[in-house]
Amino acid sequence: MKTKLLILTTLLLLSCASKTNNDQFISKTKGRYFFNADEIIEVYFKNKELFLKWRNSDLKPLKINDSTFYARELNEKLIFDTTESKIILAKKREHKGEELIFTKLKEGEKTPTEYLKENNFEMALKGFLLIKEKDSLNPVIRQRTINQKGYAFLKNDEIEKAISTFKINIELYPKSSTCYYSLGDAFLEKQDTAKAITYYNKALSINPENRRAKKSLKRLKKE
């Protein structure tokens, strides 16, 4: 009975709420927000109706009232705080008591990965180091995650971006044999054999059992 009442109440609210939004709300809420420390969710409007762009998909949330929307794909109720330029996720059991907030990016501000895609090494490094300073266990700066970004650039023949990515990983994890090995791979792809050998040797100096580095060096010596 309670469930049916809740559904009816929600439907009533949705039917009463106008799908369009006023100009002031649109002006204050449109823009890019941090979905996480290195990912964006964008708020935009069509015919004064609110839409979200997230992970290359366009989402159309249901409007509940003038400040609250339900995004089915995220299974989250988004509450817009126009005074502080942020989106607050309505509390629910799955959040385990944590207050989840999407903060709005400043004009021209970008994520570390966006800087990487522009091959802006300095800003990308600064961004990743800042994330590590705030939360050293943040998933977006896991060694494996950043390494995968680097190899994705290599796969797309974006060698300089791959080199920048692996260098950042070394800055974050200077004692990792894998990070140096990966940078060696990037320089090998660039046909800079001397630097590739340097980084393969560095990988082995940290971990003499790095079989991939051993194999790569052996192959280069034969050539």
pLDDT at 40 over 90: yes
pLDDT of 18 reads 76
Total number of domains constituting the chain:
2
- Are the C-beta atoms of 66 and 24 separated by less than 8 Å? no
Instruction: Answer yes or no: do 217 and 116 share one domain.
Output: yes
Taking Cα atoms as reference points, which of 179, 176, 220, 175 lies closest to residue 197? 220
pLDDT at 223 over 90: no
Instruction: Answer yes or no: do 173 and 218 share one domain.
Output: yes
Instruction: Answer yes or no: do 92 and 118 share one domain.
Output: no
What angle, 0 to 180 degrees and rounded to 10, lies between the N-to-C axes of helices 159-172 and 143-155? 170
Domain boundary at 42, 73, 103, which?
Answer: 103
Instruction: Answer yes or no: do 145 and 173 share one domain.
Output: yes
Q: Which residues contact 182 (CB under 8 A, 6 or more apart)?
A: 147, 150, 151, 166, 169
Tens digits of residue pLDDT in 9-26: 555 554 455 789 999 999
pLDDT of 9 reads 54
pLDDT at 204 over 70: yes
The dihedral built from the CA positions of residue 104, 105, 106 and 107, taken in this order, carries a sign that is negative
pLDDT of 86 reads 97
Instruction: Answer yes or no: do 130 and 61 share one domain.
Output: no
Domain boundary at 103, 126, 142, which?
Answer: 103
**Domain housing 12:** 2-103
Instruction: Answer yes or no: do 203 and 118 share one domain.
Output: yes
Instruction: Answer yes or no: do 116 and 218 share one domain.
Output: yes
Q: What is the mean pLDDT of residues 31-56?
A: 97
Domain boundary at 51, 76, 103, which?
Answer: 103
Q: What is the mean pLDDT of residues 25-33?
A: 97
pTM for this prediction: 0.85
Tens digits of residue pLDDT in 163-177: 999 999 999 999 999
Q: Where residue 116 sits, what CATH number does that domain have?
A: 1.25.40.10
Instruction: Answer yes or no: do 98 and 116 share one domain.
Output: no
Tens digits of residue pLDDT in 95-137: 999 999 999 999 999 999 999 999 999 999 999 999 999 999 9
Share of the chain above pLDDT 70, in %: 92
